[in-house]
Amino acid sequence: MMDYVVRNLPARNVLSVRILYHLMCVLSERYFAAGWNTGLEYSLWHAAHNIGRRRRFICRCEAGQLRKLAKRIGGWIVFDCTVDSLTHHPVGPYGPRFVSMQQWMEILAQQQQTWKVALDKIIR
């Protein structure tokens, strides 16, 4: 699975991406008892950047490590998990992958918009 994460990366970034992926998995196990908790990339990003109420579940050192690694590699790790709505089987790529910081900001903005729309529907 790790090869999927680092494919098409410059050799100088591969080790740092592997370290970030490993740290994210360790934090997922530590705080959620799961190798990669659903939505982990969002939870850790918000916690590392002190956004919302998520900051409390990781320590300052862990938050600093996440921020430092993301800055060093110029991106983040996301989990591709598009599934067929009928069979619930993976459709297309499945697993963790590196995305550039620009891609991550677009993904994050899209997800925040999705959450806002869902919340608006609940409140109405």
pLDDT for 65: 95
Bridge-partner residues for 96, per DSSP?
Answer: 79
Grouping H, G, I as helix, E, B as strand and the rest as coil, residue 79 is strand
Mean pLDDT for 43-49 is: 90
7's CB contacts (< 8 A; 6+ apart) are none
Mean pLDDT for 10-25 is: 85
DSSP letter (8 states) at residue 36:
T
Helix (H) or strand (E) holding 96: strand 90-100
Q: Are 57 and 30 in contact (CB under 8 A)?
A: no
Q: What is the pLDDT of residues 85-108, one digit of tens each?
A: 666 666 666 678 888 999 999 999
Confidence of residue 35 (pLDDT cuts 50, 70, 90): confident
Confidence of residue 9 (pLDDT cuts 50, 70, 90): low
CA distance 93 to 81: 7
